[in-house]
Structure formats: C-alpha cells, structure tokens
Amino acid sequence: MSDPIDDLLDAAESGKSIIKNRDILHFTYIPDTILHRKNEQEQVTQSLLPILKQSRPSNLLVYGKPGTGKTLVVKKVLSKIQERVERSNFPIKLVYSNSKNETTLYGLLVSLGRQLGLEQDELPSNGLAISEVFKRLLSKIEGGKLNAIFVIDEIDYLAQLVVKTGKDILYQLTRANEQLKQGSLTMVGISNDLTFKEKLDPRVISSLGEEEIVFTNYNVEQIKKILEERINESFIENSIEEPALNLCAALAGGEHGDARRAIDLLRVSGELAERQQSDKVTIEHVREASLKIEENKEEASLKSYPLHEKLVIIAIMKVNGSSTGEIYSSYKNLCKALGKDELTQRRITQMLSEIELSGIISGRLVHQGIHGRTKKYKLAISSEMIKKSFKDDLSLQDIV
Ligand SMILES: Nc1ncnc2c1ncn2[C@@H]1O[C@H](COP(=O)(O)OP(=O)(O)OP(=O)(O)O)[C@@H](O)[C@H]1O
Ligand SMILES: [Mg+2]
C-alpha cells in the first residue's frame, strides 16, 4: 500500500517544479528593473540629491495606494545613494524603518538609533523616556556631524503609535533639524493611506510635506508587463498560459492597480499548479488562487478581532438575519455562557456598524410601521469560515 507521506515526498523529488526561484516572488525582493516608474524614481532621487553635496534635502512625503511601488522605488534610490556614500566616505546615514513592524514608538526610535550606530549601552532597548531616546538620536547626529535621512515607511502606523503615547514625536522629528547645531536630519514618510494627511496636525503636515510625490495606480497593461518581467526570472519557460497571465493582471490591475496583489496571485497560482503536478499555470489555477487569497484575508481579519467583536459575529451566526435587538440578546447569552461581562447595547450597535465596514456582515434597514426602523444583519461570509477562524481560540471553543 502506498504511504501518503512518501507519495508526496516522491512527487516533490521527481515532480515538476515550474517555479525556478521562489525568492523572486517574495514581496521584499528588489527587481533589477523598475517598470513604469521613471518619473517617480527621478523625483525621489532629485529630492534626496542634496545629501551627496552634504547639504540637507527637504523633508519628503511619498503617497500612493498599496502596491504602487513606493517602498520599492525609495529603497532602490537609497541603495544607489548608499553605494556612492561608501565610495566617498561622506558622513551620510540612510536609515530605513517600517512602522508597521514596530509595536511601540520606543521600538521604532531604537531601530532608527541602531542604524545610526548607537549600541545597546548608548541606547538601551527599553527603560528610557521617549524624550531621552530622542535626545540621544540627535546627539549622535551632532557628534558625528552626520547628514541623516530617516525613512519611515507606513508612517500612518507611527501616527497610531503616537496617539497611544500622546507624544508629539512626529512634529519633533520633522522639526529636529532646527535643533541641530551640526549635521542634519531629513525625514521621508511613506503612506498608502490617502486620508492620512487629514488626520495630522497641520504643523506636522507643513514640515513633513515640504515636498510631496504621489504614486498613481498601475493599469492592467502595466501590471501585465510587471508580471512578465517577474515570470521570466522566477518561472521556467512557457509555464504560464497566456490567459492565466491576463487574468492575473486583470484581477489585480482592474480593481486596485496593485502590483503586490498581482505578484501574490502569480505565486499562489504557481504553487497550486505545482501541487497538482501540472506543468503549466492555467486560468483555473488563477481563479482558485484568487479565492484562496480572499479566504486567507477573511480568516486573518476574523482572527484579529478582539473578544467582544468575535462574540458579536458568533451571535449573528446564531441568529443570522436578525435585528440589532435580537443580536444583542444572542450576544448576551454568549457572554453569560463564558462568564464575561457584557457591553451595552449602544456599544454593540456601534460595533455592528464597524464590523459591517469590514464586509464580514451586511446590514439592511427595515421599516416596522409604527415601531420605527431597525437594522437587520446577516453574515456576508460562510459560517464555516467563522468556525474555522475561531476554532483555535480556546475561550470560544465551547460556543462555536
Ligand atoms: N514598477 C514595478 N516594477 C516591478 N515590480 C514592482 C513595481 N512596482 C511594484 N512592484 C512590486 O510589487 C510589490 C509591491 O510594491 P511596493 O512594496 O513597492 O508597494 P508599496 O507602494 O510600497 O505598497 P504599500 O503601500 O502597500 O506598502 C513588490 O513586490 C514590488 O517589487
Ligand atoms: Mg510599502
């Protein structure tokens, strides 16, 4: 009798592999050629050029929807400048950090400090006041007469960290240069939240946005070209059928113009094809991959909800299509079963609107004659998906 594990291992050893280099399909890979972004590359370079002449560039804000090449272009410009810096021995420090990867403002500042060359004993990983950390960053710049550029990617997350700690750190960072007697500091912020600016203090906007560069969405044709480049490097020849490529481009390009999504779709399609021992990626693989990616997204967003949001979602699952009042009763029962204190109906009503925005449930206003109006909610995803997503949550196991 065949062994299921051996079968798979055999297949992997002898089997068809159509992806020749998986790393190239990873989102951190920096391709040699950046297509369709000549202007943007020039603009970012122009804006940072003064650093090579040892003078201070303006602060810069880079904007654009997700997957439009912002991180890629900025990183590429940084690495090209870095190459020249190394040859010239100028005291220039280019520092990149992504605020999404940090859970605290302190962590973010330490990551910037480490890249400036501050060791643990000069800048401990915790325990100082934020203002003190900030001071040490500045004195490092002054001491070394450094010309520093701090790139803060996904800066909207920093804005959130800042809200929590209540500090005016963004403002201080963007104005830090004025405090420096020697050296200089330039801030480059990158954001894909187009409403980000509205949320900022006007003083921060005016200092951070000394210069602004906007990245527009890619169209379907442009996405297709980007995919073709990537395919050449990462897949063996002729392993993607033309209609499959077109569908990838159409799905990712049509809606959002998002190159990351397109490349993800390509990678997952390729993996599905390999798993099915197919020597070509077909349109069906792309369809299947697209579904799978959507499902993974739903699952991740369900898992990320706090407890009471999860309870509300389970409550709806139990009384699908009911009014706010009925959902609230169902939710209260769940709280009782778990021995948790319930939140007020007002809070739950508000929560329902928030969850609706995420697309997991959908609401409909119903008029009930003299009783006025009520809103009825039903699930917009399958209850299997909810069970699957919550099954690892120990506190929920008994009620799902
Ligand atoms: N013009 C391009 N040519 C080749 N690859 C590209 C191009 N633009 C984007 N990509 C690829 O698409 C993916 C997403 O790009 P990038 O990370 O730069 O997006 P972003 O604008 O920073 O998005 P986000 O706002 O979500 O961070 C990366 O894998 C990148 O290599
Ligand atoms: Mg990015």
d(CA 373, CA 380): 22
Residue 156's pLDDT is 85
235, β-bridge pairs? 19
Q: Is the beta carbon of 66 within 6 A of some atom in ligand 1?
A: yes
Q: Which ligand neighbours the alpha carbon of 63 most closely?
A: 1
Gap from CA of 69 to ligand 1 centroid (Å) = 3
Q: Is the beta carbon of 217 within 6 A of some atom in ligand 1?
A: no
Residue 290's pLDDT is 95
Gap from CA of 226 to ligand 1 centroid (Å) = 10
Do residues 358 and 316 lie in contact, with contact meaning Cβ atoms separated by under 8 Å?
Answer: no
Q: Is the beta carbon of 192 within 6 A of some atom in ligand 1?
A: yes
Gap from CA of 155 to ligand 1 centroid (Å) = 16
Q: Is the beta carbon of 76 within 6 A of some atom in ligand 1?
A: no
Closest ligand 1 atom to Cα of 229: 4
Report the nearest-CA residue for atom 8 of ligand 1. 69
Q: Which ligand neighbours the alpha carbon of 216 most closely?
A: 1
Of the listed ranges 1-10, 90-99, 139-148, the one predicted with least confidence: 1-10
Q: How confident is the model at residue 100 (pLDDT cuts 50, 70, 90)?
A: confident
Report the nearest-CA residue for atom 27 of ligand 1. 66
In single-letter form, the type of residue at position 363 comes to G
Gap from CA of 71 to ligand 1 centroid (Å) = 6
Residue 197's pLDDT is 77
Q: What percent of the chain has pLDDT over 90?
A: 67
Nearest to 45 by CA among 149, 136, 168: 149
- Average pLDDT (387-392) is 91
Q: How confident is the model at residue 384 (pLDDT cuts 50, 70, 90)?
A: very high
Pocket residue to mutate for ligand 1, from 71, 221, 248, most atoms within 8 A of Cβ:
71
Could you give the angle at the alpha carbon of 256 between the alpha carbons of 213 and 39, nearest 5°?
A: 30
What domains appear along the chain, each with residue ranges and CATH number?
A: 4-20+218-301 (1.10.8.60), 38-215 (3.40.50.300), 305-396 (1.10.10.10)
pLDDT at 207 over 90: no
Of the listed ranges 28-32, 42-46, 47-51, 114-118, the one predicted with least confidence: 28-32
Dihedral of the CA atoms 123, 125, 127, 130 (nearest 10)?
70
Residue 397's pLDDT is 81
Residue 326's pLDDT is 95
Residue 89's pLDDT is 78
- Average pLDDT (330-358) is 93
- Average pLDDT (24-53) is 93
Sign of CA dihedral 137, 143, 144, 149: positive
Greater confidence (11 vs 240) lies with 240
Residue 256's pLDDT is 80
Q: How confident is the model at residue 111 (pLDDT cuts 50, 70, 90)?
A: very high
